[in-house]
Amino acid sequence: AAGEAWTEASAPFLSELPLKQWVHLAAIFKRPQITTYVNGQKVGSARWDYPVGQNGDLQVGRWSGSASHAGLIDELRIYHRALEAEEVLALANPAGRQTAAYRDLGPAKSEAKELARYETRWATLVVGDDGALLSLKEKGTGRELLATPQPVLAVEQKQGRRLQARQMRLDSGLLIADFPRGAGSAAIHIEAKDQYFTVTAADLKVPDAKRFTFFQLSPAPKEYIGNMAGLASDDASGVCLRSLALEVDTSFHSPVPQFRASTTAQHGLVGPSIGLAAGPRPQLIPMLRSMAENEPVPKSRVGGPWSMGAEETRGSYLFADLAAKDTDAWIEMARRGGFTNLHLHGWWSTLGHYEPRAAYFPGGLDEMKATAERIRAAGLKPGIHTLTACISPNDPWVTPVPSPHLIASNHYTLAKPLSATDKTIFVNELPAQSHDVIWSYSGNGNALRVGSELIRYAAISREQPYAFLECERGAFKTQAAAHAEGAGVDYLQQRYIAFYPDPQSPLADELAERIARVYNACQLEMIYFDGSEGMRSRFGIDTMRWAIFQRLYGGVTEGSEWGHNSWWIHSRLGAWDHPVWAMKQFHDAHIRQASRFRLTDLLEPQLGWWAPRGPSAIARGHFPDELEYFAAQNLAIDGPGSIQGVHATARPSNARIDELLTVLGWYERLRLARYFDQTTLQQVGQPGRDVRLRQNAAGQWQFIPAHLAKHRISAVGNGSEHWVTENPYAAQPLRARLEALYSVAPYDDAKATMLADFADLDALDNRRNAAGVTARVELETTDVKAGGRSLRLQAANAGDSARGAWAQIGRTYKHPYFSMMPGDALGLWVKGDGSGALLNVQIRSPREYHDCISDHYIDLDFTGWRYVEILLRERDAERLTDYVWPYGGGGSHAIYRNAVDRAHISEVNLLLNEIPAKGKVDILVSPIVSLTSRRAELASPSLELGGSKVLFPVTLQSGQYIELEGIDDCVLYDERGELISRFRSQVEKLPRLAEGANTIRFGCTPPQGHSARAEITVVSLGQPFGGRRPVAEIDWKRLDREYDIPRIVTRLDGADNVWNIVRRSDAPGGQEKPPVLEIELAVPQRAKPEQQVGAKASGAFLAEPVLAIGEQSVRFPVRLLEGQRLVCRDQATWRVLGADGAEVATGQVAGAFPTLVPGANRVTLASQTQPAADFRVIVKTVKVYR
């Protein structure tokens, strides 16, 4: 029904509880049915066709106010599934509860006596005769490291009953708990080593035991909780529980720490052990190193307890889809970016057999090995990426005959014979709800195995007769065949377009051998275990990781799944997939998490994977300030990163990639050298603070604070073209970036499709509100702007704050979902109420189509009707954390990375937020249409500040942008970041940004038939800052190569071809030893290679280039053609290389090579002849300090 209404349902138990006897109550919810049971017998039912959840504390025995139950409560259980009737009956078994007698013992207090005492060098552990851990005391300080005594062990039986140690005896070194009512016994063995304790699940005599929790404790230190390390600590002390066997399950609950170690019937209930390290925090790593050296766990020289402070774990890596022929180009790219490791990706032919990819390594493993040697010879470390347990559908273990050892997560049997051509598979069992009906990267898959045939289905019948429908027989090039009734039908586990091996099968061992064969042959120095979470079980992931690692000779290890048992081999923790939207906010969340890893898990952080993206159909590319923010925040916490999505030889998606990597390389080298003092790093690391790292005129590295204030002009003429911006620094000339945004087809466009027409209010089924907020909707047919009706959305906030006051109304779509194609934008009219609240128009895609949340904000700071254009590419994720929403932020792929699957929309929602305290919101929204985005042109854009207008004599196309840095420093870039031209703005003198508030107005000649849309970023700079550490504490070897931002020269006019490079003077001996200057001059190809096939060459060339540095110069007697580059690395020999990397010419430098002086050096590029109009040369310089 329209509007908000309170709905409830109830199912009866019994009118009153009988006195002095135990009664078993159970309520089962299997949507939409609630069933109630008393003493195992069904007594009532009700219908409730809504999801259920719980928020806040869960209370038993009280509705509200004081207690409503005066009596005893025991064996409370909450299950994450609906129990069957026979399970309820088993739980209600009254054995042992026939008597009504009980005694009120008053407040619980321990009268236990010490049963056993164990001592290491650092701590004393005491177990009581009541089966509880009584004490874990730190020696030296006497600090108690237990928050509270509690039973040391417990057993869970298959019917759900939990037995807990209440009394314990010591017999032949075993601590034995005898459970009441003849339920059996359990025994553990505790041993004190010099540095740590071990606890072993020694014996279990309990029928139908499902889980044996053989050790549990509540640590007192709780400031830092690390699940992967199993550590609870503060700055003084710590308690660390470590699994010593794959069969051990661990759990580490917080914020109130509850550590448990258990075994299961599935993998063996007795035999496995854990280690326990406890004592002063500075001694935890030595304790854990001793444990690793003496216990049967994988050992890594730079992982687990050896991660912290290891120099190998400090370096960053570059993802390299590297072909052997391009090795030198990748080495140079890695050096420019300051990387220590080249991380080979995509090197395999298929996942599974892991043969080197022939297109990259025609010579097979031998050539891959030789490539690794070349990388090492260049001073870099080679590593490989793996998708750990993944097996490609085209791997020989899948096709033409699939391995019987591929994991099947569900098993069925044929209800009818299946011929080789049947398209329907009838089965006896109900297909699981988790089965998808598509084959997708992020889904569970739709592949079945029957005998040696793989089959894919497109639909499922979960009503009898159960069946998989619309089947593709002989999928993945297997052979379709007939199968008899009763034959097994296996649902194969899939994730990331891959299958997985049973972790305890020969296939898992073979796969581990395949990876180890390549790693060891190439003597690689890093491995990334990606994709192992597709194993979908803790045991499977751990088993696969250990199987691979124990076959390797060592090196840095990272992985995508941060399970407890992987800690022993993990070197770094924290890699996230790169963001597409809100890069800085995303990295803030990453830094918040990763900066705690050294404290919580004793591991170094990893702050990649970042990607300097170019523009795409879903989003704009990344700007230099976004990559610099990434680099600066990493520097502040001395955290390594990684970069992906680049290529050393292909046309870059972001044309400014060399500039971006140069700046990143500055940060990385200075970080590895430990150049800056701690005060400087603290300033740099302030969340949300932008800085620019530059050398001053004396060659010293400094930071310049930068304030970047963004403003989006949604349409010139609607009021958004004038706004107020803040300058937190002193008055200064205007600096800005002007980006032309895409426009949108008109509301009544012929290709428009209806996304939400609000004709049926009952279809708006996705409703929820924050506490204290009420909301309602109704149709309005009088005040209508478009579409024949309006949706009135009203919300009231009874709370005292607008913060967190939100309401949602929307519609959900089931498979096959809703398509908004061909649109990639929205159009709607909104009648604002001036409340200052926020309207969020949200589009979602489901899990199996990459799970996306696309938020688009409309500030309700206006009254009356306003037309709003929303582009999916302009997601408002940057503002997500400004508000409280009923969904997460952090590193969410759905919010920051995944694009809307426009053919599969699962939700369309309207959310109100910041509803005024004790106030309300009342707005109208028109039907929402799906539209296509359009390119537009903004002619003669301008900015007006303080009565002075700065006119830019260019026409901006959608995606293009201008960077204004000074009166003579104005650059026009295309959407990829390709420099189009340098020009001077039309103003005598740049207007000045006053300190504080400034009113700015944007203007342009708008496009015909479309809105003029732009984003303006006003940049203000503060005073430089930065101090370095003492000379002796800086690792100057890390600063041996210093790259300059490449200079793109478009004219030889005495301005465009003149710039400065700086020689530092602060290194030991820096005044006496001038650096070797490496030079590269390149005439780039102006079009994509595929566009050049059969096309006429531009004729661009550079004849006999001369590079002058100060008063000295060097001349190269050669004619550089388009696609060629001249390289001089040693100041003596030059080479000319073609576009394919082949040498075209070579020669010797005539005369002395120019020498850099400390500080700024003026550089000029000249040529023997005046170049053509489309002339362009990229000049790269590198200073190599000896």
Q: Report the alpha-carbon distance of residue 303 to residue 321 in Å, rounded.
A: 26
Q: Report the alpha-carbon distance of residue 54 to residue 49 in Å, rounded.
A: 16
- Fold identical between 311-391+503-573 and 1040-1184? no
State the fold for domain 757-930.
Jelly Rolls (2.60.120)
pLDDT at 380: 97
With residue 809 as reference, give the H or E element that holds it.
strand 807-812
| Domain 311-391+503-573: CATH class, spelled out | alpha beta
Specify whether the backbone of 292 is left (phi greater than 0), alpha (psi in -120 to 50) or beta: alpha
| Overall pTM surpassing 0.75 (yes/no) | yes
pLDDT at 261: 97
Considering Cα of 530, then 536, then 537, then 538, what sign does the dihedral take?
A: positive
Q: What letters, b where the CB count within 10 A reaches 16 and e where it falls short, cover 511-544?
A: bbebbbebbeebebbbbbbbbbbbbeebbbbbbb
Q: Report the alpha-carbon distance of residue 7 to residue 1164 in Å, rounded.
A: 78
- Domain 1040-1184, CATH 2.60.120 — does that match? yes
Q: What letters, b where the CB count within 10 A reaches 16 and e where it falls short, cover 447-475?
A: bbbbbebbbbbeebeeeeebbbeebbbbb
What is the end-to-end Cα distance of the chain in Å, rounded? Answer: 78
Q: Report the alpha-carbon distance of residue 1041 to residue 1048 in Å, rounded.
A: 21
- Nearest alpha carbon to residue 429 among 464, 389, 384, 481: 464
As given in the structure block, the two tokens for residue 134 are: 């009584």
**SS3 at position 327:** helix
- Nearest alpha carbon to residue 754 among 831, 816, 818, 809: 818
Helix axes 364-377, 327-336, angle to 10 degrees: 30
Q: Report the alpha-carbon distance of residue 130 to residue 167 in Å, rounded.
A: 4
pLDDT at 32: 86
pLDDT at 59: 67
Mark the ranges of the chain whose per-residue pLDDT is less than 70: 1-8, 15, 54-59, 62-68, 104-110, 889-891, 1069-1072, 1087-1100, 1173
Helix axes 624-636, 657-672, angle to 10 degrees: 10
Q: Can you spell out the DSSP letters for 233-266?
A: E-SSEEEEEEE-STT-EEEEETTTTEEEEEEETT
As given in the structure block, the two tokens for residue 630 are: 């990434």
pLDDT at 948: 96
Q: How far is CA 637 from CA 314, 602, 661, 687, 933, in A?
A: 11, 15, 20, 12, 41
Assigned CATH for 705-742+935-1021: 2.60.120
pLDDT at 1065: 80
pLDDT at 21: 87
Sorted by where each begins, the domain ranges of the chain are 1-104, 114-297, 311-391+503-573, 408-492, 583-696, 705-742+935-1021, 757-930, 1040-1184
Largest CA distance in the chain: 109
pLDDT at 1168: 78
With tokens 């999928």, the residue in question is: 475
The pairing of strands 41-47 and 33-38 is antiparallel
CA atoms within 13 A on the CB side of 174: 15
DSSP state for residue 495 in the 8-state scheme: S
Quote the distance between the C-alpha of residue 225 and its chain's center. Answer: 21
With residue 633 as reference, give the H or E element that holds it.
helix 624-636
With residue 1109 as reference, give the H or E element that holds it.
strand 1106-1109
With tokens 């959608």, the residue in question is: 958
pLDDT at 1100: 66
With residue 1003 as reference, give the H or E element that holds it.
strand 996-1005
